[in-house]
Structure 1
Amino acid sequence: MMSKIFKDEKSLQKYKYILKKITERIKNHEGLIRVITHHDTDGLTSGAIVIKMLYRLNKEFHLSIVEYLSKEVIDKLGEEHKDNKNNILYIFCDMGSAHIKGILNHGLNAIILDHHPPAINDLEIKGIYQLNSHIFGINGAKEISASGVCYLVAREFGFYDLSILAITGAIGDMQHRPFSGMNKFIINEARKYRYITGILKDIVYNCYDLPVWKSMMYSTQPYIRELNDGEKIINFLKKLNIDLNKTSFNEEDRQKLKIALMAYVEKDDDIIVDRYVIKHKIDDAFYLSELLNACGRKGIGSVGIGVALEDDECIKIAKETYIEYKEEIINQLKDTKINSLNNIEYFFGKKSMTGLIASLLVKDKPVLGIYEDGGYYKISSRGNETLVNEGLNLSEIMKIAVEFGGDGGGHNVASGARVPKIHLEEFLKKVDDAVGKQLKK
């Protein structure tokens, strides 16, 4: 039952109250609804859930996909609002809670559906409705993603089929090892209504609709340095007498491969995953999350939305984009030069790839990926569960950027920032010191 997710009855009642307010505002709004969402898997699934809901409710809508909810983006929306007054309802997905003051300054008629720590821990702020997991004591880094928050609104209208997109978004945000909290509730609901048709414990390379050798070559979860090109993988599979062109493993091949791969990974969980078979043209939620991520990171988020909505042409483009994107990642991993300070590591990389590269390189120190953007450096910081358990909170660490005229925030395990280029060295030194203090707590 959902009530068990909440820490107390008061939190449950607050949740029901704001959900009713949000659904009533959506139902009663007669003008354009502007949906603004993030470009990663969780953001794209969030956007897809909301626009599919609005379409079914016969609402007029327009979707924008952004990399970052910057001051410039908010100011542009403010100008749009000035011209249209109260005729536009803004729905922010997977963003907004950290920037609520900027949204307030422009007087936007807005709903925020987010799972990042909020700047203001209230449900209603001068007419803005905020559905954020943290307000109810639900951990947005582990127990629900933004697409899950969006689904909680959609299910109020009976759209339970959209649960599969919430599950896909949570996988994209690395909340699936294992699913817990509200994510688990959503999975159980999807199973109840048969939108999940199976959950299989399987080797990760069976998730992709690709020949086995390609599945291994393009997989970065896990990334195995010793098997990072086609020739090495082909030789590896030939020694095991496994057909290179199979698109899935039988039990015998699965066991042979598992035993052989244990020489390269720390534990079974690195190569064995729970596969969620969903009612979608891409019937594996893990693979769907990978396709959406590739689209977002390659700057074709609109194609990702089309994939989520099961458009055949978009699916074809996404599969091609996925291969191209993974090749770039593998090549960049080979070329990445790591710089070390006392408590952090950092590297300079390409736009839209730094976050993933950083997450793949994390071991015993958090890793920061950095790229230039005009007069700023944008930073993606990544930790892991072990570091978080030792006290790491990258959401707080990235807020140090504010001291240098930038901005930042996110989750304890994954966060981002933007810093003026002239202050990067000072920023990194202060971050290094701050991480050291957190990990010594």
Structure 2
Amino acid sequence: MIKAIKEFAYQFLKETKNTPIKVISHHDTDGITSASIITKTLQRLDLEFSLTIVKQLEESVIKELPEGHVILFVDLASNSFNYIKEIKNKVFILDHHEINSEIPENVSIINPHLFNEEEISGAGLAYLFAKEMSEENTDLAYLAIIGMVGDQMDKNIGKIYNQILKDASIEVKKGVTLYPATRPLNKILEYSSDIFIPEVTGSSEGSANFLRDIGIGTINGQYKSIIDLNEEETSKLITAITVHKTDNGSTEDLIGNIFLINFFNRLEDARQISAMVNACSRLGESAVAISFCLQKRSSKEKADSIYTKHKQNIVKALNSLPILKKIENDNYVIINAEDKIKDTLIGTIASIISNSKEYTQGKAIIAMAYNEDKIKVSARMVGKSGRNVRELLNSVIDIVGGEVGGHHAAAGALLQKDKENEFIEELKKKLEIKLVKV
């Protein structure tokens, strides 16, 4: 793949020598960090470009692309070739999503699926491209790690990511993956959206009592951070969380790599940075998100404020779940939020639900929310086995029309609002076909 990236970069420079560039990227953390890497790279090359961040690559986005530009798609487009083949411009794609049709002649693409490579996020591909352009861009390696964490690809780090970690000079520690790992432990437990512990989550007194009961006290009036815990304290914390938490995850899910990045001249947890980037973009502040990624001082306070608002929106959305329309059987639950949850939040809510003890392993979670005249659908699996939800959504969208993207265990779709009832009926038919294990 590295050899292919060299040729890709050469062709890109050749095509853009006297031609403006239009960059399109996705609005999640991986897409924003990808866009940040590309932005800095093109600025350093003094190339003329403009950037658009999209929720999903719809046909309307393709139709609005400017003529006479080289098009660069980042962290999307691998499953949109039916639209892209109509583009008259030269198209370059850096993406890691599954390819579902023949690659058009006007497209040059780097995608790990074409090379049987290790899984690598859009930001990882953007970084490899940037590094090929100039060694100066190795200072952007930290963004590839934030993108990796944002797309939850940090479990199995291979050769490529090990090199990116080396380029980034990032400190990696094993520990409890609640974030931010650099902040006092009582505050992490009180405000964590990753786990829910009755009488602890949301309570400053409850989190202090929880830590006192397991023998973790304060030093000079302040609790240690996760990265400062010794082995015995870490073990006590894991045991206590496992006993008290209400989700489906195992003890192993609590342990992993903690990536510590020098960000705004302070050691920060990559998971926390990722969550803040994601919040900014999903609240429509992608420009703030990119400035924050590139450590522009003016964006720091804005990002902090947006992140606080985002967490409040999540709590509000979770509190609305009991009143939402639900269709449920042994294999699935369809939650139709209509206009009661923002479409930009529905994926986050689906993920939280899929990690709760409310539903059994192997159950499909399908969550829906209105987006003007469209419906955003997010699909997740409870646990690590079960249906390929991307294929599931694809099979329904093939009938009712719309766009699909994502992966085996987490996928999304966009369809016209007037297809709501038809979509639900077709979805139920597909979901009621029980999985047969061979």
* Structure 1 stretch displaced more, 234-243 or 164-173: 234-243
Structure 2 CA distance, aligned partners of 1:412 and 1:19?
Answer: 30
Structure 2 CA distance, aligned partners of 1:175 and 1:236?
Answer: 31
Residues 234/57 of structure 1: CA separation in 2 closer, same or farther (3 Å cut): same
Q: Would you say how many aligned residue pairs link Structure 1 and Structure 2?
A: 408
Matched, 1:222 2:195: yes
* Structure 1 stretch displaced more, 41-50 or 259-268: 259-268
* Structure 1 stretch displaced more, 428-437 or 149-158: 428-437
Which amino acid in 2 is paired with 1:397?
L
2:305 to 320, 327, 338: 320
2:237 to 242, 245, 257: 257
1:75 to 63, 71, 75: 63
- Shift of residue 148, structure 1, vs aligned partner: 1.5
**Which residue in the other structure is 1:352 paired with?**
344
Q: Judge conservation of contact 1:218–1:327 (CA < 8 Å) in 2.
A: no
**Which residue in the other structure is 1:8 paired with?**
none
Q: How high is the sequence identity, in percent, across the aligned residues?
A: 29
Matched, 1:172 2:146: no
**Which residue in the other structure is 1:276 paired with?**
259
Residues 233/279 of structure 1: CA separation in 2 closer, same or farther (3 Å cut): closer
1:46 to 23, 28, 34: 34
SS of residue matched to 1:31? coil
- Shift of residue 278, structure 1, vs aligned partner: 2.6
Q: TM-score, structure 2 length as denominator?
A: 0.84
Residues 90/192 of structure 1: CA separation in 2 closer, same or farther (3 Å cut): same
Matched, 1:151 2:127: yes
**Which residue in the other structure is 1:331 paired with?**
316
Q: Deviations over 1:32-65 (max 9, x none)?
A: 2111111110100110111111122221221111
Residues 206/325 of structure 1: CA separation in 2 closer, same or farther (3 Å cut): closer
**Which residue in the other structure is 1:5 paired with?**
none
Matched, 1:111 2:92: yes
More helix by share: 1
SS of residue matched to 1:130? strand
Equivalent runs, 1:353-432 vs 2, <5 Å: 353-362=345-354, 363-364=360-361, 365-384=363-382, 386-387=384-385, 390=386, 392-399=387-394, 400-432=396-428
Q: Judge conservation of contact 2:390–2:410 (CA < 8 Å) in 1.
A: yes
Q: Deviations over 1:178-232 (max 9, x none)?
A: 124xxx2233113433x23321112234535544343223322234455432254
* Structure 1 stretch displaced more, 355-364 or 246-255: 246-255
Q: Judge conservation of contact 1:147–1:169 (CA < 8 Å) in 2.
A: yes
SS of residue matched to 2:85? helix
- Shift of residue 342, structure 1, vs aligned partner: 4.2
**Which residue in the other structure is 1:203 paired with?**
176
Structure 1 CA distance, aligned partners of 2:224 and 2:318?
Answer: 26
Q: TM-score, structure 1 length as denominator?
A: 0.84
- Shift of residue 270, structure 1, vs aligned partner: 3.4
**Which residue in the other structure is 1:343 paired with?**
331
Q: Judge conservation of contact 1:410–1:416 (CA < 8 Å) in 2.
A: yes
Residues 187/204 of structure 1: CA separation in 2 closer, same or farther (3 Å cut): same
Q: Judge conservation of contact 2:81–2:102 (CA < 8 Å) in 1.
A: no
SS of residue matched to 2:305? helix
Residues 224/109 of structure 1: CA separation in 2 closer, same or farther (3 Å cut): farther
**Which residue in the other structure is 2:46 paired with?**
58
Structure 1 CA distance, aligned partners of 2:331 and 2:420?
Answer: 16
Residues 206/76 of structure 1: CA separation in 2 closer, same or farther (3 Å cut): closer
CA RMSD across the alignment: 2.6
Q: Judge conservation of contact 2:192–2:201 (CA < 8 Å) in 1.
A: no
Q: Deviations over 1:284-311 (max 9, x none)?
A: 2222111111111111111111111011
